[in-house]
Amino acid sequence: MKLTILGGGGFRVPLVYQALAADDLITELVLFDSSPERLGVIDSVLRGLDLGLPFTATTDLDEALHGADFVFATIRVGGAAGRIVDERVALNLGLLGQETIGAGGLSYALRTIPVMRHIAERIAELAPGAWTINFTNPAGIVTETMRGVLGDRVVGICDTPIGLVRRVQRVAEAAGLGGPTGAGESVGAIDYVGLNHLGWLRGLEVGGRDVLPAILERDDLLEEIEEARTVGFDWVRAHQVLPNEYLFYYLFHEDAVRSITEAPATRGEFLLEQQGEFYRTAEAAAQAGNSGHAGAERAAEVWASALREREATYMAEARDEGEERREEDVAGGGYQEVALRLMTAIARNRPERMILDVGNAPTGSGERLVPQLPDDVVLEVPCVVDGSGVHPEPLRSPVALDQLGLMARQRAAERRIMRAALTGSKREAWLGFSEHPLIESPQLGRKLLDGYLAEHAVLRKILTED
């Protein structure tokens, strides 16, 4: 089977490669990237890992897509430099500039959606039978955009929900709250609902028992769950849920802004420096080895070191100053593993229960998962995946009113941004910024739009209609 990775020069591609090499499902791997320099560095890293899975690299999109069985879409339009602009324009107005949450996420979506729409159209032309697995952020609205072309054959994935599920499962089993599931086995029914980076775990069966109520009662067990520590034990008990870790930005918006502002650098600035240094060092190492195996091995070592630093500093603003991320939290999972499980379930008809980004009313179903939201809204919900495709499971209980309201406001703002990106409407972009639940101000919406237009030349080409 042929897998194409779009964004094949990306820093996290070696993680995907390692997961793929542990299985024999993929026999043809193609890496595509618009940057030949970054692609060359990742080529060296993969050769240095020396895992036996052959691959090719190309800067030709059509060549990469032609005849693919699976497509991973993992690109960053504007790179880390664009992310810094997203962050700083918002922070200068006292707002959150995180890459998927708030103003920064909307700016990122504005310049990403036209590119991803074009990619979806090329997939439909060159690989109509392919399954597209979207990693590109903001994953929810980007997947929703691609579904307008590819329908149910595009699925969004994220590793944060499964990371939360695994933490709860680990804690429950260690405390003897549920029967053991066994190494590598799936848990039972998962009661999770939301949008990408905006969701809630409302129940989890381990060994046939919903273990969440018992966990919520005990401080010693909540202490072992990163999400509970982040938002507070009183909050999770009051709501009887465990949140996706990104709820921190909604619940503690001012704290997050202050922490990011007081830090020596934003996350984008840190990654621009760290990853820039990685690409320079890895390229130099490969060249020093005359592009041979020794140079490739050194490039792989440089990558592994940079990865450890990146993972340890993830969401640092959600922790107390000086608090390091726990090893068990870093090891909570990864999107590469989620993607491989998804591909394997489809290709080998090996049923899996997973949390994925899918349509509210999948084609032909005639029923909405959340009746109050439109058919084509992309939700993050438990699904069963098998050889016939991805099948969202009915929700186990209605969505709470506060959760529904936040989901609706978030996606309404993002849909304004999607329309702006596809039609060029500055008015829709202004409304999208103004109506987001972390902004809610026409005046700030106007300032954000003006600020991003001033700093992003690509947005001035996209937004041409008043």
Tell me the pLDDT tens digit for each residue of 247-281: 999 999 999 999 999 999 998 998 889 888 989 98
* pLDDT score at 267: 87
Whether the pLDDT of residue 434 is over 80: the answer is yes
* pLDDT score at 458: 96
Is residue 354 helix, strand or coil? strand
* pLDDT score at 283: 87
* pLDDT score at 392: 95
CA–CA gap between residue 248 and residue 39 (Å, rounded): 35
* pLDDT score at 383: 96
* pLDDT score at 327: 52
pLDDT band at 295 (very low <50, low <70, confident <90, very high): confident
Whether the pLDDT of residue 407 is over 90: the answer is yes
Q: Are 415 and 423 in contact (CB under 8 A)?
A: no
Q: Are 384 and 352 in contact (CB under 8 A)?
A: yes
High-pLDDT (> 70) share of the chain, %: 92
Using DSSP bridges, classify how beta strands 242-243 and 131-134 pair: parallel, antiparallel or unpaired: unpaired
If one compares 388 and 362, the residue with the highest pLDDT of the two is 388
CA–CA gap between residue 35 and residue 18 (Å, rounded): 22
pLDDT band at 53 (very low <50, low <70, confident <90, very high): very high
Whether the pLDDT of residue 35 is over 80: the answer is yes
pLDDT band at 180 (very low <50, low <70, confident <90, very high): low
Residues with Cβ within 8 Å of 320's Cβ and at least 6 positions away in sequence, in order, are none
Opening angle at CA 14, ends 9 and 19, nearest 5: 135
List the 70-73 sheet strands across, edge first: 56-58, 28-32, 2-6, 70-73, 131-134, 154-156, 352-359, 378-386, 389-392
* pLDDT score at 285: 80
User: pLDDT, tens digit, for every residue of 302-319?
Assistant: 899 888 887 776 555 554
Mean pLDDT to the nearest integer, 50-78: 96
Is residue 358 helix, strand or coil? strand
Mean pLDDT of the chain: 91
Q: At what angle do helices 401-423 and 102-126 cross, to 10 degrees?
A: 60
DSSP 245-293: TTHHHHHTHHHHHHHHHHSSS-HHHHHHHHHHHHHHHHHHHHHHTTTSH
Residues with Cβ within 8 Å of 110's Cβ and at least 6 positions away in sequence, in order, are 417, 420, 421, 429, 452, 459, 462, 463
Count how many Cα atoms sit within 13 Å of the Cα of residue 274 in the half-sphere of its side chain. Answer: 19
Q: Are 135 and 113 in contact (CB under 8 A)?
A: no
DSSP 174-211: HTT-S----TT---S-EEEEEETTEEEEEEEEETTEE-
Whether the pLDDT of residue 363 is over 50: the answer is yes
User: pLDDT, tens digit, for every residue of 234-244?
Assistant: 999 999 999 99
Whether the pLDDT of residue 288 is over 80: the answer is no
CA–CA gap between residue 94 and residue 448 (Å, rounded): 11
Read off the DSSP letter of residue 27: S
Whether the pLDDT of residue 461 is over 70: the answer is yes
* pLDDT score at 428: 98
Mean pLDDT to the nearest integer, 102-115: 96
pLDDT band at 13 (very low <50, low <70, confident <90, very high): very high
CA–CA gap between residue 364 and residue 75 (Å, rounded): 31
Q: Which of 322, 375, 328 is nearest to 166 (CA)?
A: 328
* pLDDT score at 330: 45
Whether the pLDDT of residue 84 is over 90: the answer is yes
The burial of 227, by beta-carbon neighbours within 10 Å (0-12 exposed, 13-18 middle, 19 or more buried), is given as buried
pLDDT band at 187 (very low <50, low <70, confident <90, very high): confident
High-pLDDT (> 90) share of the chain, %: 78
